[in-house]
Chains A and B, each alone.
Chain A
Amino acid sequence: MSGTEHGLVGRTAAELATSIASGEVSAVEVTQAHLDRVDAVDGPAESGVHAFLHVDADGALAAAADVDARRAAGERLGPLAGVPLALKDVITTSDMPTTAGSRILDGWRPPYDATIARRLREADVVVLGKTNMDEFAMGSSTENSAFGPTRNPWDMTRIPGGSGGGSAASLAAYEAPLAIGTDTGGSIRQPAALTGTVGVKPTYGGVSRYGLIACASSLDQAGPCARTVLDAALLHSVVAGHDALDATSIDQPVPDVVGAARRGAEGDLTGLRVGVVKEFGGEGYQAGVEARFNDAVAQLSKLGAEVVEVSCPNFVYALPAYYLILPSEVSSNLARFDAMRYGLRVGDDGTRSAEEVMNRTRGAGFGAEAKRRIMLGTYALSSGYYDAYYGQAQKVRTLVARDFEAAFGRVDVLVSPTTPTTAFPIGERVDDPLAMYRNDLCTIPSNLAGNASASFPCGLADEDGLPVGLHVMAPVLADDRLYRVGAALEQAYAGSWGGLLLNQAPELKESAS
């Protein structure tokens, strides 16, 4: 079934914004249509898509009504005015609970809005609710959510990727045309690849982290998720830009991502130099993933790009370095969950000390993966092991950045598959951390080096009929190049796919509710 057959929920964000601005349809009608779709496919948690942890129907309809009223009064509105969006539950919102997928924050209502939430509101975007995720953004499947997994709309027995599985699945299930994700090691890009959607990790510091509950502060980056490249660019331009409240925010103009997406859609990549990362392929990569990746590279070449092979020898060490750096930062960041100022408190019966209450709360409030990473980080940072683990990992980080620097001296963008495999069955890797970690093999180098990267749909694997993503990496602050490549590819495939890849997804069963 194609997107257009879904009515209002099948339209892109750009189309909806135009229709709302022209008065063809009201923001309230658009919002109601998406809320109805959420009602029909998202629940129950045990068998529905379960992309959302919290839906704010009243708030969304009120925001939409406000857009309609101000439009009627002739006020000038933002470029995405009245368009619904699904917000990852790691972004603080003062009007909705924020849990980061953790029992320890169950029911918590932050006293302030993240900069992203504020910018979305100022742009008149309608936030539908908060999306499911692996606890504190740690995971590649959304199975580490304390509130149960999200299902992949392509196959409800499979994972949608993670940690932003809820955001990606909400797009693939036509529950929202836009979503916000966060990416520490691939949490925007890997779910995008596994659900046949678009996900962009902007340059580190490109989007404010103020109000983003920290996983690993030197790696975390929020970014846009959408069904089309132009929609992702429109959302990117709304949330990006310098923020005085985030000391790591880049004080430079946002690259012209919308312009790049429009130019890319003209389908000419003449003069663009594309490097295929030699190290990302072969053993451990699913045949269907490699086949679709090779097709995509051929397609780029057909569009005029000059394709060469590039070696980045240290990229294979990015994964082990990441699984030392990330847990180290996590063990420090999650220390704030101390049962004293907010969140869960367990065992405070008047006889126990603060430390005992803290131990009990953290033992009961954190899930298995959070505990695993806290312990790993505590070990890697402890005296006697610091140099051998954390210190060495930081050196590898330097080597990975040098590989990028050398590569970007020769080519404009690098490409690889986004993930080694397509979506795997729920439960398959849940207690095999090393197998789970390998999902992020190709996406991690960009987090270590801070450069911009994205995943774009590039077809279905022959053996299982599931989506494959093309991973595109660009230099720091060259986010626009991602959109140019993504949009060119999207229009090139539109002919053979009959529009978006997502049109080939099976129709979801709607519940009777």
Chain B
Amino acid sequence: MPSISREEVAHLARLARLDLEPDELDHLSGQLDQILGAVAQVAEVAADDIPPTSHALPVTNVFRDDLPRPSLTPESALAGAPAAEDGRFRVPQILGEEQ
């Protein structure tokens, strides 16, 4: 199995939207490598003809009737928001100024 480089770990952190300190990156690189080495043995057992299982029990879509029903009020939905304004979530800028 490929060993995982510090650059690869930094890339993963960007994909996962995680700011990591340099020492966290160092530490995690070693640990991820060790864990991936240990779990790679799953490749030994599962042959091509084995179907994958994504869920323990057979599940099917569950639908309800498309009828109006009570839901959260704007006040309760916003009560836990880090910032709110005019009955809406206030978020930092999403697009850069040039966009």
Contact = CB atoms under 8 A, between A and B. Distances in A.
Contacts of B54: 218, 394
| Majority secondary structure, A binding face | helix
Contacts of B16: 331, 362, 374-375, 378
B36 A109 contact: no
B15 interface: yes
B82 A348 contact: yes
Interface stretch (A45-53, A79-87, A336-344, A407-415): A336-344
Contacts of B34: 433-434
Given A344-B82, A371-B24, A218 B55 contact: yes
A392 B19 contact: no
Nearest to B34: A434
B74 to A, nearest CB: 11
B28 A375 contact: yes
A444 interface: no
Interface residues of B, number: 55
Contacts of B43: 388, 392
B62 interface: yes
Given A343-B80, A348-B83, A396 B19 contact: no
Contacts of B53: 394-395, 397-398, 401, 448
A348 B20 CA distance: 18
Interface residues of A, number: 73
A108 B64 CA distance: 30
Contacts of B57: 204-205, 248, 250, 450, 476
Given A344-B82, A374-B18, A398-B53, A320 B39 contact: yes
* Chain B contact residues, majority secondary structure: loop
A399 B76 contact: no
A396 B45 contact: yes
Contacts of B67: none
Interface stretch (A54-62, A227-235, A353-361): A353-361
Interface in B13-55: 13, 15-21, 24, 28, 31-32, 34-36, 38-47, 50-55
Interface string A415-437: 00000000000000000011000
Nearest to B64: A244
Interface of B: 1, 4, 9, 12-13, 15-21, 24, 28, 31-32, 34-36, 38-47, 50-57, 59, 61-62, 64, 72, 76-77, 79-83, 89, 91-94, 96
In the A-B complex, the 4 residue pairs with the smallest Cβ-Cβ separation, listed nearest first, are A450-B56, A363-B19, A395-B46, A394-B52
